[in-house]
Amino acid sequence: MKDTPRGQERLTPRDRLLFTVAFLVPPRFTPDRVRRDRRYRKLDQRRFIAWFLALPLLVYAIFVVSPFLQAFFYSLTDWTGYSATYTFTGLDNYQRMLEDDKFWESLVNSLLLLVLAPLVTLSLGLFLAYMLNVGGRRAGATGGVAGARFYKIVYFFPQVLSIAVIAIIWARIYSPTGLLNEGLGAVGLDSWEREDWMGGDIAVWCVLAVLCWAFVGFYVVLFSAAMSSVPGEIYEAALLDGAGRSVTFFRITLPLTWDTVRTGWIYMGIQALDSFALVDVMVPEHGMDVLPSYLFEKAFRDAQAGYATAIGVALFLVTLVFALVMMLVGRRERIEL
């Protein structure tokens, strides 16, 4: 019979009970027999991790997981949101959602913002950060342009404003007598003026422009911090080899800052999906909807909380799939400097 390695003997029922008690109680109450066992060290490590994570996991379960589970439950009912009674309706809300043209219109608008807002915003942020940090060349060396710090402050300024203030400002700009129409008229483009910038098919593009304007400054600062960690000698070596700005960007800057870009893409995608404030303030009623604004309309204006939570579940799934796709597709081998 093959001997069991020392320290890995099978536990008797009594030892198993003692180790279980030792795992649950504080160390000072640990039985001496268990404390002298060499396997106690591994048990003590696991106990520390378990107790260290117990409270955060409990708080997370109560305030994050529990509301999601409640929302899914209410999506299976006809709850109005204002009464204490409801009837279980099964998957009726989801069937209704699949047949709801307004839901699909809102979903298309949300997906359009989800795809284009990160693409445009991060592209502009990368370009501006690259120009500010590596765009200047003096005496055969690479460096930032003159006044780079001032430009970063200017670009970052929209982040100081709340999203509601930004929405109000741009609602005035897009109004029939706003700055946009006045500017077009001043340069002789009267035919381009519109009375309903925030109505019809063009509304989603106007919201996209505001999203990009509001967040591009944040990514300029974020990517500038990432680029500052790239040694200047790498850029100078590329310059000596005759590499231009575009080659330097795609072969050096982008690979070395890819982790930051991927994280920023996920964050910006979530911001695009959560564009309720912009749409609610800027867009007149029935001008356009995204999933959060349509959810709000059904929950608080039409008193259809059960159906609204079904829309919320759909929004949660879209967000989850987006984050997973970005984490899997954007994964690449880490480059060490």
Angstrom distance (rounded) from CA 261 to CA 222:
9
Whole-number percent of the chain with pLDDT over 90:
32
Closest C-alpha among 114, 68, 116 to residue 290: 114
Flag whether pLDDT at 5 surpasses 60. Answer: no
pLDDT digits (tens, 9 = 90+) for 220-234: 999 988 888 877 777
Q: Which residue has the higher pLDDT, 36 or 7?
A: 36
Burial class (CB in 10 A: 0-12, 13-18, 19+), 261: buried
**Which residue segments constitute the domains of the chain, with CATH numbers given?**
1-66 (no CATH), 95-330 (1.10.3720.10)
3-state SS class at 88: strand
Mean pLDDT of 49-68: 86
CB 85 within 8 A of CB 301: no
Enclosing H/E stretch for 213:
helix 203-228
Please give the mean pLDDT across all residues of the chain.
82
pLDDT digits (tens, 9 = 90+) for 100-117: 999 999 999 999 999 999
Q: Which residue has the higher pLDDT, 238 or 225?
A: 225
Burial class (CB in 10 A: 0-12, 13-18, 19+), 39: middle
Global pTM value: 0.78
Flag whether pLDDT at 2 surpasses 50. Answer: no
CB 252 within 8 A of CB 159: no
